[in-house]
Structure 1
């Protein structure tokens, strides 16, 4: 049977969203509900996919169906394309199954030409309206279909207004509109070497193809990646009879929401313009009026619209975003969809709708996008100040929030200036673990290189710090203490502001305001906590981070990265002494310095977590990350160690590895240097004993996690170092405190041999950052250089370091989970990579049956909601 690629609006309904797209399905549903929807038809998402499968050509079969349904539309409307008596004009609009506002293209007034424009002028008695519609069509068609400059059309309009000595578009006469039509055609001809198409059917086919093409424009691809929308969904195309809001003063157009999308207030919110078409409302050329003023201008249309709004919200059980047109006093509905809203509004609307009895708490939980909660948890810029500020460059919004401070170029500078009470923005080519102290005291981090999952981005998110990364327009001159961007030079000490939610960078100080969380937030999260199956822990390395996570609802720590502690104060000196030690005595002396420092750190974290479980990962990065690179630091360390600079430089050189991320790191360090594991074990156990003594009710049971294990024998070796040390300390203390030893599954071999490794490991935590790197075989820090080409070629939909690769890495996780529990049925399983805060990854983890996810403190509320949504979805599946 022939595939059906085209549907009249009255042939569809809301359940056909995947085929008809969101807009088409909602137009069909409104038609079924008896609402005043202009007739039309929808070309399916399958037709879009076939267009791409056929080499970006609309097949003869699809073209034939489009022409067949065009005839049906002509019969329904009593109008005909290109007719001199009763011409049909249509709009051609995109409509993906997921709402993508502003991402794809629309063309209005299609079907008009010289003859039709003349007919419309005569029939309507309104020549200005006819030629206004004509010039708008040429402008849109040239832009969307042919890619001509929008700006040039605006310049032509301004030139005509200047010649006439007028400022407002409404002052343009019918003759002015005719002039614009001719000038637009001339521009079209001069740019393309061909006349503007006059055949309405040719216009329509070219417009439909342009909408299909817009599915793969840059902004649509970027939006899809950000919102987890697969490229193979395609977009539908809606061809709909035009109704005109620009025929006169009893005509108009508007956009409205059933509730306020900024605050959530249960009051109609929107704007309209009389004698205008849709784009005029959003273009800002004229100032629209508030929707409640419509009752004075067109009371009948207003009353009908209010009634429809109520009906639609009750029908869809969600706040609706609608477009409407009034033609000669008669109301027409052009679109409805679930409206985009701020996080504050989303929470209020969800809570209010539950109170109104409109939805259940499960439905309320599914109404809020987890990522939205991010904006509630970070400082923001004062709105008025932001509107007046100048953007000097834009890059990747790597970690949300608003940062304002004076420029510094090194972590040392950041700390020095912050100690003086100054606010600083750390500007770096790229960051490394050594920069962590400077990052911690900065208001924000701006990097020239790196992506959304670069070191700067990951660490900033973990701290809840604002970060903008990949600002490639910046030319750094760190030696002179300055950078240049878009012709402007900024020096050390100059004020800048960065917006980690948008990626914008401003060349001045902008006032920030603390984030506000309404009472609805707590109530909403209580519903989420009752519903979710997964526990939510945090990745935290300091008591401050741990406390912040607890405030946001964390139920424990899934990852303490002990290496981050070594970069503070005197600890970096002690670990450097350990690295360059020539003999066992020097090695032990350094470890003896480190042990009480580590113990104090762990006590602080245990105190902050108040008895909640804490998983401590032993030293993970390669040792070269701890050695100095600055000649002054090398000289200082050589003097302290009583060795020559040449000897120290030789040690540093010996630490160099061709591929350090796959080299001497993780538990391999403990095999080579058993004293490290013994020192860290002593610190962990003594810290827990001390805190349990002060707070016996907490009954802390340390969870020790050994990183980068790939073999059972390897795990046995390192675990023995841990247990012998721990048991000796406990025996001496006369304590029966329990502790647990587990491992991170981050080497593919460990996932394949998980049943063997579970013989010794009491728990698994999947380190999905390294597991992804080692499964794909590419570096997280370098992948940003070539991943954009992979997205363009549709090889990958998303960055696998941001969203878990469920087919490959996910298969290893599921396999390891099943094998581990085969050996140890009560085994606790978690995820502690960046994916622990990603909603799509959390849904997968819930489905696989893991016990918890662990994420940065500022992503804990996101993970709590995502876990609740995962439970609801997976129960339905």
Structure 2
């Protein structure tokens, strides 16, 4: 498990002189925290994800064992010139030994291998902006041990091929399309639609091709030392704090660059072990409408990235009641417990491994402004929160979107629907279509209103998404990257629009028998999922309903008056001032 350098460091841990240096005054701070050593109040140190994993652990919720490498460790990594400090490496392995004791498994052991995930976790939620590596610890030997241990050869090699692709992409920067092409070729050769249709022998062939790509791109063999894999993975997550998409996200959301990210190392649980296993994402309320009902999606026999990437079509969470009723009942109980505990709508990730439910994450969920207002009002009426707490549930910048135009009702009656997808983020948008983030940004900079059309979006698309009027994707559902990011940015999104036939090479799509090329106008409605051919006139919205109730509470609580020559602007300014500090 531990290479020679680590063994030597461990042996010399309490020796005053080590490698010719006086270590008696070395840094002895604690950088690593087991989940049961933290709590929700330690967000600045453990990051949002780590703090919530600790809180769930303390609440007795089934969370896979793990530990958090603190934001202070990330800051030290950058202060030391982007070199992983020895003290942090030492504490990582000490914590890992404790996880081995909890799980009864050994990291790097052939007979009973412990595999871990390595995930980022900043102080504030930055969905998809930084990196994750799953199945760390697999190699040519441990994959055989995992196969024998589980009696499921296909599962073991499916996990290995996933790890090679993620490690190559995240740690080494090898273009993931190279691996996806190999996988697509294998499916085409078999006539398979999904990767779940590939058997163990076919996955072994894919793995050999994956390793060849790695070798060609790096001039080295895929690492077989589990310890090396782990430290490189953690280092890559630290580095991802300063990747272009994370820096752009921080700029857009006013997040300081000196905060750093925490890293969560967690024992793997597997949703890809067959028909009694699965993974999903769910919300305690509908993030698009605010309706009080469990909303989410899951996939049987899958790992987490399959859901958010939209590669396979997930099932609504209610179907889990039919497939795995005991897991569904337990899930509902825990979801309600988490919402009551945090007093906010929760966005949760979960995995079911052979009929056993685990929670991998919870956080306050992103939502549209319309749903945020409804939730705030409903939660007060339910007695969950008070009015002052409700005012804080709506982000000030979200209120701006209430002044955005919507489609003119008379014009909408004349419009032709060319396709229908999922209403992933409310609002209406009209613009010229472009099929890459780079093209969308270039034409936006030239003064055009643009709509970004993609098979599916990824975190690399954040800059193009941010300047678009709306987003239209062919794949994905309500919990896909496009949907979550659009709700956070505050633009409309129609996802999973499989009615359209997209041709990425010609930069066009076909809808209702007509071809729409780059630069053509379309209109999309994120509240209904409708896609219209051509432009539609828009009108300014009225301020009423839940917003009216919300504003009346703000007026009751506020201590500051705002004057302006526009009534809507006055209400918006007052609300923004009140949301920022309701007691002033």
- TM-score interval w.r.t. the shorter chain? 0.7 to 0.9
Residue pair 2:523, 2:536 contacting (<8 A) in 1 also: no
Residue pair 1:260, 1:268 contacting (<8 A) in 2 also: yes
User: SS at the partner of 1:390?
Assistant: strand
Q: Which residue does 1:511 correspond to in 2?
A: 536
Q: Which residue does 1:872 correspond to in 2?
A: 582
Please show how residues 588-599 of structure 1 align to structure 2 within 5 Å.
none
CA shift digits 1:343-376 (9 cap, x unpaired) = 0000000100000000011111111111112222
Q: 1:396 to 1:360 in 2, by over 3 A?
A: farther
Structure scoring higher RCO (CA < 8 A, sep ≥ 6) equals 2
Q: Which residue does 2:380 correspond to in 1?
A: 354
Q: Which residue does 2:441 correspond to in 1?
A: 395
TM-score, normalised to structure 1, is: 0.51
Q: Which residue does 1:128 correspond to in 2?
A: 154
Structure 2 CA distance, aligned partners of 1:497 and 1:43?
A: 47
Residue pair 2:47, 2:122 contacting (<8 A) in 1 also: yes
Residue pair 1:254, 1:324 contacting (<8 A) in 2 also: yes
Residue pair 1:253, 1:277 contacting (<8 A) in 2 also: yes
Structure 2 CA distance, aligned partners of 1:11 and 1:179?
A: 43
Q: 1:273 to 1:530 in 2, by over 3 A?
A: same
User: SS at the partner of 2:107?
Assistant: coil
Q: Which residue does 2:240 correspond to in 1?
A: 214
Q: 1:356 to 1:213 in 2, by over 3 A?
A: same
User: SS at the partner of 1:537?
Assistant: coil
CA shift digits 1:703-743 (9 cap, x unpaired) = xxxxxxxxxxxxxxxxxxxxxxxxxxxxxxxxxxxxxxxxx
Structure 2 CA distance, aligned partners of 1:403 and 1:99?
A: 29
Residue pair 2:116, 2:137 contacting (<8 A) in 1 also: yes
Structure 1 CA distance, aligned partners of 2:559 and 2:96?
A: 51
Residue pair 1:533, 1:867 contacting (<8 A) in 2 also: no
Q: Which residue does 2:251 correspond to in 1?
A: 225
Q: 1:518 to 1:187 in 2, by over 3 A?
A: farther
- Residue 225 of structure 1: how far off its partner (Å): 1.3
Q: 1:496 to 1:327 in 2, by over 3 A?
A: closer
Residue pair 2:430, 2:449 contacting (<8 A) in 1 also: no
Structure (1 or 2) with the greater helix fraction = 1
CA shift digits 1:97-120 (9 cap, x unpaired) = 100011111111110011111111
Q: Which residue does 1:281 correspond to in 2?
A: 307
Q: In the alignment, which of 48, 69, 74 is matched to residue 74 of structure 2?
A: 48
Q: 1:517 to 1:132 in 2, by over 3 A?
A: farther
User: SS at the partner of 1:267?
Assistant: coil
User: SS at the partner of 1:395?
Assistant: helix
Residue pair 1:91, 1:241 contacting (<8 A) in 2 also: yes
Alignment RMSD, CA only? 2.9
Residue pair 1:95, 1:238 contacting (<8 A) in 2 also: yes
Please show how residues 313-352 of structure 1 align to structure 2 within 5 Å.
313-352=339-378
Q: Which runs of 5+ in 2 are unaligned?
A: 1-26, 413-419, 422-427, 451-468, 470-490, 492-505, 509-518
CA shift digits 1:429-470 (9 cap, x unpaired) = xxxxxxxxxxxxxxx9xxxxxxxxxxxxxxxxxxxxx9xxxx
Please show how residues 674-689 of structure 1 align to structure 2 within 5 Å.
none
Residue pair 1:354, 1:364 contacting (<8 A) in 2 also: yes
Structure 2 CA distance, aligned partners of 1:184 and 1:512?
A: 50
CA shift digits 1:631-674 (9 cap, x unpaired) = xxxxxxxxxxxxxxxxxxxxxxxxxxxxxxxxxxxxxxxxxxxx
Q: Which residue does 1:783 correspond to in 2?
A: none
Structure 1 CA distance, aligned partners of 2:533 and 2:256?
A: 39
Matched, 1:378 2:88: no
Please show how residues 732-747 of structure 1 align to structure 2 within 5 Å.
none
- Residue 55 of structure 1: how far off its partner (Å): 0.8
Structure 1 CA distance, aligned partners of 2:386 and 2:316?
A: 32
Residue pair 1:389, 1:508 contacting (<8 A) in 2 also: no
Structure 2 CA distance, aligned partners of 1:386 and 1:160?
A: 39
Structure 2 CA distance, aligned partners of 1:280 and 1:496?
A: 32
Please show how residues 694-773 of structure 1 align to structure 2 within 5 Å.
none
Q: Which runs of 5+ in 1 are unaligned?
A: 405-443, 445-465, 467-485, 489-493, 539-545, 555-859
Residue pair 1:161, 1:167 contacting (<8 A) in 2 also: yes
Structure 2 CA distance, aligned partners of 1:325 and 1:168?
A: 20
Residue pair 2:399, 2:576 contacting (<8 A) in 1 also: no
Q: 1:302 to 1:495 in 2, by over 3 A?
A: closer
Residue pair 2:64, 2:266 contacting (<8 A) in 1 also: yes
Q: Which residue does 1:365 correspond to in 2?
A: 391
- Residue 527 of structure 1: how far off its partner (Å): 1.5
Q: 1:163 to 1:487 in 2, by over 3 A?
A: closer
User: SS at the partner of 1:304?
Assistant: helix
Structure 1 CA distance, aligned partners of 2:580 and 2:110?
A: 57
User: SS at the partner of 1:114?
Assistant: coil
Q: 1:256 to 1:518 in 2, by over 3 A?
A: farther
Q: Which residue does 2:142 correspond to in 1?
A: 116
Q: 1:87 to 1:495 in 2, by over 3 A?
A: closer
- Residue 160 of structure 1: how far off its partner (Å): 1.3
Structure 2 CA distance, aligned partners of 1:396 and 1:354?
A: 45
Q: 1:522 to 1:249 in 2, by over 3 A?
A: same
Residue pair 1:321, 1:337 contacting (<8 A) in 2 also: yes
Please show how residues 619-698 of structure 1 align to structure 2 within 5 Å.
none
Residue pair 2:284, 2:339 contacting (<8 A) in 1 also: yes
Q: Which residue does 1:183 correspond to in 2?
A: 209
Q: 1:509 to 1:105 in 2, by over 3 A?
A: same
Please show how residues 256-655 of structure 1 align to structure 2 within 5 Å.
256-380=282-406, 390-391=433-434, 393-395=439-441, 496=521, 509-511=534-536, 513-514=538-539, 515=541, 517-538=543-564, 546=565, 549-550=566-567, 552=568, 554=570
Residue pair 1:403, 1:498 contacting (<8 A) in 2 also: no
Structure 1 CA distance, aligned partners of 2:117 and 2:335?
A: 23
Length, aligned pairs only? 468
Q: Which residue does 1:701 correspond to in 2?
A: none
User: SS at the partner of 2:231?
Assistant: helix
